[in-house]
Structure 1
Amino acid sequence: MAKNIVEEQTKTGDFYGRYIDDIFMTWNRSEEELRKLLDDVNTWHPNIKLDYKISNSLPFLDVQLTNNNGFS
């Protein structure tokens, strides 16, 4: 599952990082495309579901990350 997302990120020069079951990724295309990708990922396996948050600021591994140049 993660391999497909990483391949997608590699095509656009975005960032993908994972620690155990926490994933952080950047996205340089539309929010609509991102939601479509994540909703599609949630259909890959019936017992695995991704919970996600789309924002310019979010917590990841007890650190608040902010993107001042991204989503508005």
Structure 2
Amino acid sequence: MNVSHQINYFEFPARDIAATKQFFADVFAWTFEDFGPDYTSFSDQGLDGGFSTSEFASRSGQTPTSRNQSFDLQSLPT
């Protein structure tokens, strides 16, 4: 687990997981791990994250979800 106190995981909505994977593989040489038909993740690209199927991906202005996976809350600055 990355405990850097920085954003280290993003989730993006995508209308078509297969087309999204193909685009990022072709353009950036990303690799993916599928978790069922509606979610795929990428890692070791400078930032880890995933794409989830969403019919609202390109029309709603939906923004990516970020996660900070640091669980040491006592050490965070206040």
Instruction: Please state which band the TM-score falls in when normalised by the shorter chain.
Output: 0.3 to 0.5
Higher relative contact order (CA 8 A, sep 6+): 2
- TM-score, normalising length: structure 1: 0.34
Which structure dedicates a bigger proportion of its chain to strand?
Answer: 2
TM-score by length of 2: 0.33
Q: Name whichever structure is richer in helix by fraction.
A: 1
